[in-house]
Structures are given as structure tokens and as C-alpha cells.
Amino acid sequence: MGTFTAEFVQTARILESDAFGTGGRTVVYRVNTLRVTGGSRRHEHERGVSASVSNLGVPLDPISDALSASVLWFEADNPLDIRLGASNSTMISGVRSMVIGATLSALFVTNPSSTVSAIMRVLVIGGASATASLPLA
């Protein structure tokens, strides 16, 4: 695989109350992008996570300690708890969707529900440089 470029775009549409309390609505848009250039490694998969599974190591090959990722895109149909880098690192709870531009080499997932399974989709990109754009307020 040669090198590649990817762009992640997050768009938020926020409905806020009218300042005068007249029942009107103001729509506020926020658009953030994360552009990845020179990517040389990519891994994407979708898998089920059974109820009550704890600290499931998610394979990210060819991402590893020596060849870390630059971007993680994570989605789940039900909330999952995740740990990045190590199985004993700080937990991020109740994650349904997340894009992170960071150096990482491992992902661990816990399903906090004792009755409901979840489906997660993971995409990691490595060997790239990432540039984020922040909208002006």
C-alpha cells in the first residue's frame, strides 16, 4: 500500500433557545476537521462485543508499540468503556463515537451492560501527520 491522505469532518448542529424567550430557535453550526497526510498503515474492522465483556484487547494490526497510530475513529451502537494504550490506563466511559488525533498503540474495550451486546467499528491510521482545524467562535 502506498501513502494516502484522509480527512475526518465532524459537524455539530446545535439548536439553542431564542434570546428573547419568544420560542424561536437559533441554529449554530460547528465544523471541525482532522486531516491526515502521508498515512502508510491502516486498519479497519467491525465486531460485536458481548454483554459484560471486560478489557477486551482490540487488534489494531499493523499498529503496534513500534508503529503507533496517528488517528483513531471509534463508533459503537451502544455505550462502551474504552482504554487507550494499556489495559490499566484511565477509562473513558460510555463512548458511542469518538475521533482522536493522537499517538496510540492499543485499544481495550469493556461493555458495562450485563444484558445488551454492542457492535463497534474501529479505524486506525498510522505513519501519518495530523492537522486539526478549529472553527472560529
pLDDT of residue 79: 97
> What confidence category does residue 31 fall into, taking pLDDT thresholds of 50, 70 and 90?
confident
**Which residue segment(s) compose the domain that 95 sits in?**
4-133
pLDDT of residue 88: 95
Tally of domains in the chain: 1
Helix, strand, or coil (residue 18): coil
- The 10s digit of each residue's pLDDT in 55-95 is 999 988 888 777 877 889 999 999 999 999 899 999 999 99
pLDDT of residue 136: 53
Report the Cα 35 to chain-centroid distance in Å: 14
- The 10s digit of each residue's pLDDT in 10-24 is 888 777 766 665 555
Here the CATH number for the domain that contains residue 40 is: 2.60.120.10
Distance in angstroms (rounded) separating the CA atoms of residues 59 and 46 = 11
Output DSSP code: residue 95.
E
For residue 16, give the C-alpha cell: 439553542
pTM exceeds 0.85 for this model: no
